């Protein structure tokens, strides 16, 4: 099993374990630290969607920092089992909902609106382009989108990149809708 540590909030220093899986790249500590500096250290009351939950690093980090609701979507059964084990390890925080399913299907059928969406899909499969048209239906008007991709992204629909960085081969972005 691989592991990643939660870096802030109520579950700080807790270790999350996850299996090897093709396309699974947990967001490194340094990148998560940058992201939560951009967002603000606390996510009190926010509703977050982690469409490719993988290791759970982003979703559990959001819950640790006070998000009111974090929906984590994962399709791979082995990775999903690890997410559920980590949820139990953290004493099953009520804010966290783990959903087995396809990211595109979940986004297309969800009736919920989110303040923040994490998109860290497997690279070189075209997920970002496929999701672009369904994201507005699950986003609040003032929502933020965090994206990790194999290339730079300037926009997703009406959302524009306002912050970006690079760690190795990973380009990471924070997008917001212009006022």
CB 176 within 8 A of CB 38: no
Instruction: Please count the other Cβ atoms lying within 10 Å of the Cβ belonging to residue 61.
Output: 30
Question: Does this model's pTM top 0.85?
Answer: yes
CATH fold of 2-176 reads Rossmann fold (3.40.50)
pLDDT band per the 50, 70, 90 thresholds, residue 111? very high
Q: Using one digit for the tens of pLDDT, what is the confidence trace for 89-100?
A: 999 999 999 999
Range list of β-strands (E), the chain: 2-5, 15-18, 47-50, 69-74, 96-100, 114-119, 139-149, 155-156, 159-167, 170-176
Half-sphere exposure of 114 (CA within 13 A, CB side): 27
Tell me the average pLDDT of the chain. 94
User: Which pairs from 82-85 meet CB under 8 Å and 24+ separation?
Assistant: 82/1, 82/17, 82/18, 82/19, 82/55, 82/56, 83/18, 83/53, 83/56, 85/17
């Amino acid at each position: 099993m691989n592991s990643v540590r939660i870096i802030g909030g109520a579950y700080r220093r807790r270790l999350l374990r996850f299996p090897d899986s093709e396309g699974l790249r947990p967001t490194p500590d340094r990148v998560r630290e940058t992201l939560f500096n951009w967002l603000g250290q606390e996510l009190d009351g926010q509703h977050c969607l982690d469409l490719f939950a993988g290791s759970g690093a982003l979703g559990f980090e959001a819950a640790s920092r006070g998000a009111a609701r974090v929906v984590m979507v994962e399709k791979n059964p082995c990775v999903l089992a690890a997410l559920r084990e980590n949820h139990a390890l953290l004493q099953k925080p009520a804010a966290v909902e783990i959903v087995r399913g396809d990211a595109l299907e979940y986004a297309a059928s969800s009736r919920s609106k989110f303040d923040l969406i994490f998109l860290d899909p497997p690279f070189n499969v075209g997920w970002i382009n496929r999701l672009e048209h369904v994201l507005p239906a699950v986003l609040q008007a003032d929502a933020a989108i965090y994206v990790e991709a194999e290339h730079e992204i300037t926009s997703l629909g009406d959302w524009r990149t306002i912050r970006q960085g690079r760690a190795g081969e990973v380009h990471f972005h924070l997008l917001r809708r212009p006022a």
